[in-house]
Amino acid sequence: MAGVFDWRNVSFDSMVYPSVLRLMLFAMSGIVCGLRRQHNCINIRVTNANMNSMPAATTFDWSLMRSFLAVVERGSLLGAARQLGVSQPTLGRHVAELERQLGTVLFERTGRGLVATSAARAIADQARAMADNAEAIGRTLTGQSKQLSGSVRITASQTVATYLLPPLLARFQERETGIALDINASNAVSNLLRREADIAVRMVRPAQSSLVARRVGEVQIGAYALKDYLRRRGMPRKPSDMMRHDLIGQDRDESIIRAFAALGHGIDRDSFKFRSDDHLVLWQALCAGSGIGFAATWLADREPSLERVLPELSMPRLPVWLTVHREIRSSARIRALYDFLAEGLPAALA
């Protein structure tokens, strides 16, 4: 990796690659302009820069801005400290010092972490541009390739995280070898607002305006059974025939019950001979021959030991949403994975 780059004492006339530095300066000016709009109180001066269109060095320290970005992305001092490899007290001092230098409060302290203020949101994108360009300078001067680095945390349901994402993510990491991936396999809807994840793949569209969601496909649910089970118990010919079979279903979640009710077939929790709210347990029970169960067609159709039961049984399709926080989608590594998944998920779900 390139070393930490300190731009504060750089002479633009003496650099071989002034264009990248100009981009950093424009980003720096954007930060100040964002704060001016918030507080109308900051003046900047740029020295050693032969750029007639730019004002003359700002008083804030870029190393503190790196800490600021980490807190914005992680939503807590602890998460940001882990990302940067520093102690939590050190990061806390960095944030406090940057707030002092800029003369504004950047984060509100809550019981769940740190929430970016309007001033912090106003300068976040420009700060990321400075970070990206600083890394570009380091790569250029050291002859390194323009690969991205850092980590991205993804949350998805157990089934999606276990069976759908791994082949896609393997291809992504072949291309972006510097990016580490953290996978949170959970059926709970992680709150991106609290930075529990950077990217979410969910069947529910988020309601918060600060989250950006893109519909990347839909999931069709079908009824399936092990071929050996059907040889023993027979193939159902109509929906009512399924009531004479061993059904695999959920324990407290009533989504399958509601789907049957919408089709005019009344079942309840006691209709399921095998029950669990863990999707992986339900999948393994289906593959083991415990009865007729319900699974996404993108997964079950690829399992040769299973056979579709009553294909005409039309259950509601579930939309698939790729979601990211509006404030961090400009992060180069997060954007790279987001765009990759947006392109790859539709085919994987087909």
Which domain-ending residue is among 142, 168, 197? 142
Give yes or no: residues 69 and 201 share one domain: no
Q: What is the pLDDT of residue 345?
A: 95
What is the CATH classification number for the domain harbouring 174? Answer: 3.40.190.10
Which residue is it, tokens 């990248």? Answer: 20
Q: What is the pLDDT of residue 55?
A: 39
Q: What is the pLDDT of residue 205?
A: 86
Give yes or no: residues 213 and 225 share one domain: no
Which domain-ending residue is among 125, 142, 159? 142
Give yes or no: residues 344 and 291 share one domain: no
Residue 6 lies in a domain: no
Range(s) of the domain holding residue 345: 150-217+319-349
Distances (CA, A) of 243 to 79, 225, 292: 50, 14, 10
Q: What is the pLDDT of residue 17?
A: 40
Of 328, 326, 283, residue with least CA distance to 302: 283
pLDDT in tens, the chain (350 residues): 444 444 444 433 333 344 444 444 445 555 555 555 544 444 433 333 343 443 333 467 777 888 888 888 888 888 888 878 888 888 889 989 888 888 889 998 887 778 888 888 888 877 877 777 776 666 555 444 456 888 899 999 999 999 999 999 999 999 999 999 999 998 776 666 566 788 999 988 887 777 888 999 999 999 999 999 999 999 999 888 888 999 999 898 888 888 777 777 778 888 899 999 999 999 999 999 999 999 999 999 999 999 999 998 877 789 999 998 776 656 788 889 999 999 999 999 98
Residue 172 lies in a domain: yes
Residue 27 lies in a domain: yes
Give yes or no: residues 115 and 25 share one domain: yes
113's tokens: 């972490």
Q: Give the count of domains, the chain.
A: 3
Cβ–Cβ under 8 Å, residues 35 and 43: no
Give yes or no: residues 80 and 191 share one domain: no
Max CA separation in the chain (angstroms): 84
Q: How far apart are CA 22 and CA 28, in angstroms?
A: 10
Give yes or no: residues 118 and 46 share one domain: yes
Q: How far apart are CA 201 and CA 153, in angstroms?
A: 11
Q: What is the pLDDT of residue 45?
A: 39
Which domain-ending residue is among 142, 158, 182? 142
Of 180, 174, 176, 132, residue with least CA distance to 153: 180
Distances (CA, A) of 13 to 20, 108, 254, 268: 13, 41, 68, 76
- The DSSP result for 272-304, as a single string, is EEEE-S-HHHHHHHHHHTSSBEEEEHHHHTT-T
Q: Is 252 exposed, middle or buried (0-12, 13-18, 19+ CB in 10 A)?
A: exposed
Number of H helices, E strands in the chain: 12, 12
Q: How much is the pTM?
A: 0.61
330's tokens: 């400009």
137's tokens: 């300078």
- The DSSP result for 141-203, as a single string, is HHT------EEEEEEE-HHIIIIIHHHHHHHHHHH-TTEEEEEEE-SS---GGGTS-SEEEES
Q: Is 79 exposed, middle or buried (0-12, 13-18, 19+ CB in 10 A)?
A: buried
Q: What is the pLDDT of residue 21?
A: 47
